[in-house]
Amino acid sequence: MGNSDAGHTPVTVLGLGLMGQALARAFLRDGHPTTVWNRTSEKAERLVAEGATLAGSVGDAVAASPLVVVCVSDYDTVRGLLEPLGEALRGRVVVNLTSGTSAQARETAEWLGDGYLDGAIMAIPPAIGAADTTILYSGPRTAFEEHKATLRSLGGDPTYLGGDHGLSSLYDVAMLGLMWGIGDAFLHGVALLGAAGVDATTFVPFARKVIGTVTDWLPGYARQVDEGSYPADDASIDTHLAAMDHLIHESEAAGVNAELPQFFKALTERAVADGRGGDSYTAMIEQFRKAS
């Protein structure tokens, strides 16, 4: 199935929630003939006014385009919508931008077949289509390359991770973990300083500086982890552990939640018990590699 309309591949978008509407609008903005379908058809009204074609059924929507993007609440819904279509999906590329787990992505690949790409959106709806918006894709490289130019409409940085369909979801949750880790540590610091009358805005430049500093450490951290060797070039785990006690005591004294530093300490004590006290902080990777 080839491109048409002067290089503007027809695209179908299934699911017009907050994200699906943003995806369809981004395709329309770039001139792709865009067919849409949503369980609640009223959500298509504005898009139709902007030039989209509303299909009367999922089957009609899929039949309209060689590239089908699906973005609904969960993978069960994806399966409920697409599996009944059977052969009608053959020869099309289905890009599933619904959030889920790597196991769900791999399972979907089993019943959906060759033309399946799983994806993860690292953005909120207003950022869809922006040059610096990253969307991750995994699955067959040929399917990605065939539609990479069209997928650029959704975000200027369509990133292919490899043939394992589960990779998009795995990167997605790993990055969400970073977001929550940094976010919670920031908010804990805000609570602590707030107890001394310092407002959050005052703390921001200090927080940004330390986040930037830690960011700069990451390549060195990664090198030690990849090499499996943890020389303490800067500070040992024993030194970190002592500082964690200060954070716990300050939190308790201020009457704010001390669970976050208590968790840091509990994990670090296990590393010390494993004989890693004199090593670099990167040796903590061994604690994260164990099942909890």
Question: What's the token pair of residue 25?
Answer: 């609008």
Q: Find the binder of ligand NAP among 125, 140, 194, 278 (CB under 6 A).
A: 125
Q: Rounded to the nearest whole angstrom, what is the least distance from the CB of residue 46 to ligand NAP in the complex?
A: 13
CB of 23 to ligand NAP, least distance (A): 9
**Is 177 strand, coil or helix?**
helix
> Using the rule CB under 6 A, which residue among 17, 51, 140, 194 binds ligand NAP?
17
119/277 with CB nearer ligand NAP:
119
Which residue's CB comes closest to ligand NAP? 17
Residue with tokens 């979801």: 169
| Beta pairing class for 93-96 and 53-54 | unpaired
CA distance 180 to 194: 20
Q: Which of 10, 15, 119, 189 binds ligand NAP (CB under 6 A)?
A: 15
From the list 57, 69, 59, the residue with the least C-alpha distance to 9 is 69
Measured from the CB of residue 127, what is the shortest distance to ligand NAP in angstroms? 9
Report helix angle 75-82 to 102-112, nearest 10: 10
**Which string of x and - marks every residue 63-102 that binds ligand NAP (by CB under 6 A)?**
--------xxx---x--------------------xx---
Burial class from Cβ neighbours inside 10 Å (0-12, 13-18, 19+) for residue 29 reads middle
- Smallest distance from the beta carbon of 59 to ligand NAP, in angstroms? 14
**Closest listed residue to residue 101, CA positions, set 72, 75, 134:** 75
Nearer to ligand NAP by Cβ, of 166 and 189: the residue is 166
Stretch that binds ligand NAP, among 13-21, 62-70, 111-119, 161-169 (CB under 6 A): 13-21
Cα–Cα distance, 77 to 177 (Å, whole number): 25
Select from 24, 26, 121, 135 the one that contacts ligand NAP (CB under 6 A).
121
Q: Quick one: which segment of 118-126, 201-209, 211-219, 234-242 binds ligand NAP (CB under 6 A)? A: 118-126
**Which H/E stretch holds residue 138?**
strand 134-138
Contacts of 204 (CB under 8 A, 6+ apart): none
Q: Which residues bind ligand NAP (CB under 6 A)?
A: 15-20, 38-40, 43, 71-73, 77, 98-99, 121, 124-125
